[in-house]
Amino acid sequence: MIDIKDKIAELLSGQVEDLTKEEIKGMIEVPQDKANGDYAFPCFRLARTLHKAPPLIAQDIAAGINGDPVFEKVEQVNAYVNMFISKAEFSEITLEAAQKDDFGSSDEGKGKTVIVEYSSPNIAKPFHIGHIRTTIIGDSIYRLYDILGYKVERLNHLGDYGTQFGKMIVAYKKWGNAEELEKDPIKYLLYLYTKFHKEAEEDETLDDQAREAFVKLEAGEEEEVRLWKWFSDLSLKEFNRVYDMLDISFDEYDGESFYSDKMQRFIDELRDKGLMHESRGANVVDLEEYGLGTALITKSDGSTLYCTRDIATAVYRKEHYDFYKNIYVVATQQNLYFKQLKMILKLLGYEWEKDCIHVPFGMVSLENGHILSTRGGNVVFLEDVLNNAVDKTKEIIREKNPDASEEHVDEVAKEVGIGAVKFQELSNNRIKDYTFTWDKVLNFDGETGPYVQYTHARCASVLRKAGEETVKKAEAVDELDLSYISGENAYELVKLLYVFPEVIRDAAYKYEPSILTRHIIDIAQSYNRFYHDEHILTDNEDEKLAKVALTIAAKNVIKTGLSLLGIKAPDRM
């Protein structure tokens, strides 16, 4: 697609010899007041080199570029050159590009590998509503980088190691039942985990037994390894059922245990470089001079911690993938931890630590004000949320369309219900904390996923009514009379479609899917205003073709936008 700003910069460079085309492009502004044009060029900076008043410079430049077909008109206002783009020209450039399936994609990431680590639930614990943020935000970040041409590795760094497994092993040996575990693995493991913590309040020796069990696990003791592997396999089977519902998959499931034989190298390196010392029997790295406290490397019993494993993980990823970026989608609670991890990598001499990016997000709390807690059994299972969303959607579809087939209702309910949950997550700025409420998650009115999906279905309905022959003609954009795309709502929609590729870049490089979500809402609202205020399938063939072409483009961009959020775009609702 032709870059309008680039085109303007090229024209202006013929008038301004002292600045490069890129410098000129960087100076071009988009006026807040539409009365001042679509683009404006300020001339203050040129006064020093041209020895001329800025308004006079602006007057000369305006006269020099006026008449180019890209402009409807060019005006000099004080020190500014105000440029109004030809609506027909702009519409043709935009619609021709926006109708294509690859609109918004680029090859700017070619040859660069981006790792996105997300979801990463703990084995033997529930996949609860608290995991939804990392899972869905991470998946969207993967999709955003993928469309920009990067080679993206989706990693699920499972929490499958640590003292908590010592607790699970002890709990199972004391109170476990194999039949109950196989029947409902996650809920039964949650029961054992909760029971362990309640019993540990009365019997302090249980924590010591758990630490001993984990040390045995690290040492490869047969019984501990067998139980750990059993818990892991059952848990992953349960997790994958939820991932299937969410239409989310991963390239690797290398959990913390994968790096258990790779840590000693870095423990030795920290010691050899004088970065690690003993404190109360534990090994630590003192980061106080950097304002980052103290980082634990090994406990007094010799067992390892998150930091030990994450040092090994980061180095393995660099050596194995040679990443351009190594992105961790992990809650804000771990901000200090990731600063510590990066500082340790830097002190070890790994200059690429700057390419390890922590993407934090806010926490989820329940309506009663309690934070989700696995220890206390205070969880809302993610699978229950998704099933409830689908069931609620079925009720709404049946109310609005009682004659719909059961097969159609089931298919759309899944796409819309799960889409509603995803969209609600991704429409909020990721850094903000929020309270989980059923009413908000299952609200199908206003600026929601179902509203955007319905707009896509509305576009599809218009195209079905237009007929295949009309749609085919409307796809030949360069042969259409686009002067009919002149109404305020129609042209506003064209402008929103035009900036879609830039919105994708902005969302990707800021790791903020809500930027894209907001833009898709704007496109949906704009199309609906256009739909209500203008007659699309008119008797005037030329006008109809122009407006159908705009509908094709809007439908395509909405579909692409939703796909970057991991949401389906049904043609019928």
The CA–CA distances, whole Å, from 85 to 7, 8, 66, 70, 442 equal 11, 10, 11, 6, 42
Q: Are strands 434-435 and 364-365 parallel, antiparallel or unpaired?
A: parallel
**522 — phi, psi (to 5°)?**
-60, -40
- Is the pTM above the cut of 0.85? yes
320 in catalytic set: no
Instruction: Tell me what the mean pLDDT of segment 537-562 comes to.
Output: 98
Cβ atoms within 10 Å of 538's Cβ, excluding its own? 14
Using CA atoms in the order 387, 393, 398, 403, what is the torsion angle rounded to 10 degrees? -90
Percent of the chain at pLDDT exceeding 70: 96
User: What are the residue ranges spanned by the domains of the chain?
Assistant: 4-85, 400-564
Please tell me what DSSP assigns to residue 371: B
Q: Which residues contact 40 (CB under 8 A, 6 or more apart)?
A: 28, 29, 30, 31, 80, 81, 82, 83
Mean pLDDT taken over the chain: 92
Return the SS3 of 260: coil
Lowest mean pLDDT among 102-111, 195-204, 286-295, 297-306: 297-306
The CA distance from 107 to 497, in Å, is: 20
State the alpha helices, DSSP H only, in 107-162: 132-147
Fold of 4-85: Gyrase A; domain 2 (3.30.1360)
Q: How confident is the model at residue 127 (pLDDT cuts 50, 70, 90)?
A: confident
- The residue annotated as part of the active site, out of 131, 342, 547, 559, is 131
Q: Which CATH number fits domain 400-564: 1.10.3470.10, 1.10.730.10, 3.40.50.2300, 1.20.1050.10?
A: 1.10.730.10
The model's pLDDT over 241-254, given as tens digits with 9 standing for 90+, comes to 999 999 999 999 98
131 in catalytic set: yes
Residue 163, pLDDT above cutoff 90: no
- The residue annotated as part of the active site, out of 25, 87, 112, 128, is 128
The model's pLDDT over 371-413, given as tens digits with 9 standing for 90+, comes to 444 444 556 788 888 998 899 899 888 888 887 788 889 999 9
Pick the most confident of 138-142, 281-285, 484-488: 138-142
Return the SS3 of 41: strand
The CA distance from 426 to 34, in Å, is: 30
Q: Dihedral of CA 90/96/101/106: which sign?
A: negative
Q: What is the pLDDT of residue 371?
A: 46
Q: What is the pLDDT of residue 375?
A: 47
Quickly tell me which residue has 């790994």 as its tokens: 350
Instruction: Tell me what the mean pLDDT of segment 460-482 comes to.
Output: 97
Instruction: Tell me what the mean pLDDT of segment 339-354 comes to.
Output: 97
Instruction: Tell me what the mean pLDDT of segment 266-289 comes to.
Output: 94
Instruction: Tell me what the mean pLDDT of segment 482-490 comes to.
Output: 92
Which of 527 and 384 is assigned the larger pLDDT? 527
The model's pLDDT over 179-232, given as tens digits with 9 standing for 90+, comes to 999 998 988 998 999 999 999 999 989 999 999 998 898 888 999 999 999 999
277 in catalytic set: no
